[in-house]
Amino acid sequence: MESTLQGQLKSWRQYLHQRPETGFEEVNTSDYVAKILETLGLEVHRGIGGTGLVASLKVGDGKRAIGLRADMDALNIAEHAPGRAHASLIAGKMHACGHDGHMSMILGAARLLAERRDFNGTVRFIFQPAEEHGRGAKAMMADGLFERFPVDAIFGAHNMPGMPAGSFATRAGGIMASEDNFVIHIKGRGAHAARPHMGVDPIVIGSQIVLALQTIVSRNLDPSLQAVISCTEFITDGIRNATPSNVVIKGDTRSYSKDVQALLETRMREVSEGICRTHGAQCQFEYTHEFAPTVNSEAFVGVAVQAARNVAGESNVDANVVPMMISEDFGAFLQVVPGNFSFIGNGETPERGGIALHNASYDFNDDILMTGARYFAEIARLELPRLATAERP
């Protein structure tokens, strides 16, 4: 059966890869996934948080439920994959983060559980839109996700290039950081490049701000805590022989707690406004919260680790991985429902899954599809009996 399922998983994955859709536009993707789930005999509910969907599978008389989540959206990246037979058919869009593989693994788990029915309780297969920009989880919850489809715990995973194919990594507590975005508008006074004393040069002011922001982590933050401040865009309205009147600096910050987020926002605002004031320029500082940190619940790490060991072997599971500063929309779910998020190795060499996420040549490694499907199915088999005997929080 598993050899047949592996072929089906690959077919599903490559079909989805060829037809990428970006956040809240996953109409055809949602249709395709829903039809597969309905064929498996699951009860499917559509249009949750836009294009999201939930399929429920109930076996026996168990009262507990868990959620298994996959993200659906692609990226606005033109695929560069000469000779790849299943390359994107949609110009300027591709599955450069592996969400096509995540969907296929959850679909595989649904098929395994639907056919074997070797659990007691309810499994909800949650397909989430718009993960890439941190909007889909909130949209689904605002649409009553957990009120309409209650779960005692939720589980997710993401493929990770650079990790051995089919290996697993997770940890209790923070595993991925929050992401906050900032925009700093500096208004100076333009002047002829030969007579800079006639103006207020926002390039010089902006440069000082960029450098000063880097001292916040090193001098204002407790060294035992983690944070990153990255300025990623520096935009001016100047020309070769004239200093500009305006500079815009954009970027993001990463951290693991609300206290650190608050410190970063406060100090960044003070530094930016202070430097502008010193030089006689005006400053407008904007700071927005995009992704919550992904913080695993200690009570549910053990079952994820055990499921991974049962599927991949003990030597292929890291139960205390070093936290990463990347961000994931799954963190928003974990603020409402406890659960666990894991990484699944996509491969180490460029030819076999080692190309970085969000790269135009990236591809999901089909060799790990069966591993992921078995992992999620194993979580259901292990966790529902444990929940049945545990006290509700």
Active site residues: 73, 131
What whole-number distance in Å separates Cα of residue 292 and Cα of residue 192? 45
Q: How far is CA 311 from CA 68, 168, 279, 304, 315, in A?
A: 17, 10, 61, 11, 11
- Backbone dihedral angles phi then psi of residue 27, each to the nearest 5 degrees: -70, -55
CB 253 within 8 A of CB 230: yes
Tell me the Cα Rg of the chain: 24
Q: Which residue, chain included where needed, has tokens 């992921």?
A: 372
What whole-number distance in Å separates Cα of residue 110 and Cα of residue 258? 36
CB 371 within 8 A of CB 166: yes
Distance between first and last Cα of the chain: 39
For residue 170 the two structure tokens come to 């997770």
What whole-number distance in Å separates Cα of residue 42 and Cα of residue 134? 28
